[in-house]
Amino acid sequence: MAETANKPGDTPRGTLAIRTVAMPADANANGDIFGGWVLGQMDIAGGIAASERCRGRCATVAVDAMTFHLPVNVGDVLAAFAEVVKVGRSSMTIRVEAWATRRMSGEQVKVTEGTYTYVAIDENRRPRPVDPDTPERMET
């Protein structure tokens, strides 16, 4: 049966940035995956999108509007999708969604979403400008 927190026909928004498996070591004593682990995976995904956008080093400066829709279970495949929604002088706002593919059913459900802000930084860790005309992604 479909999990109720997701709307029928919902699909991931953004570009697939990472996929990984939720392991027993990522769970608490009850066997539930830590929210912090999910946030960390999403930070990695958003960081990839931001780093591609600014063509280099960046740092996470803020995490906002996090919503945990559904739990992640051990054995689920977690996929994080990232989309650049705003570029400032040195900052980049990235919307990140985490989707879990359930190990037993194969169903894909949105588990968490939020907004991450990154700042492009130079070799001295100081903010540097982001080129407004650079394409969002590097060619692969």
Ligand X SMILES: CC(C)(COP(=O)(O)OP(=O)(O)OC[C@H]1O[C@@H](n2cnc3c(N)ncnc32)[C@H](O)[C@@H]1OP(=O)(O)O)[C@@H](O)C(=O)NCCC(=O)NCCS
Pairing state between β 91-101 and 108-120: antiparallel
Determine if 56 is a binding residue for ligand X (CB under 6 A).
no
Instruction: Check: CB of residue 2 under 8 Å from CB of residue 69.
Output: no
Considering only 5, 16, 55, 89, the residue that binds ligand X (CB under 6 A) is 89
Determine if 112 is a binding residue for ligand X (CB under 6 A).
no
Q: From residue 29, how far is each of 32, 33, 69, 130 by CA, in Å? A: 7, 10, 21, 43
For the beta carbon of residue 3, count every other beta carbon within 10 angstroms: 15
Determine if 55 is a binding residue for ligand X (CB under 6 A).
no
Biggest alpha carbon–alpha carbon distance for the chain: 52
Query: Of 44 and 121, which CB lies nearer to ligand X in the complex structure?
Result: 121
Query: Of 9 and 36, which CB lies nearer to ligand X in the complex structure?
Result: 36
DSSP state, residue 98: E
Query: Of 45 and 100, which CB lies nearer to ligand X in the complex structure?
Result: 45
Query: Of 107 and 122, which CB lies nearer to ligand X in the complex structure?
Result: 122
Q: Could you give the CA distance from residue 56 to residue 105 in angstroms, rounded to a whole number?
A: 39
Considering only 12, 35, 75, 88, the residue that binds ligand X (CB under 6 A) is 88
- Number of residues in contact with ligand X, rule: CB under 6 A? 13
Contact residues for ligand X, defined by CB under 6 A: 59-62, 88-91, 117, 119, 121, 125, 127
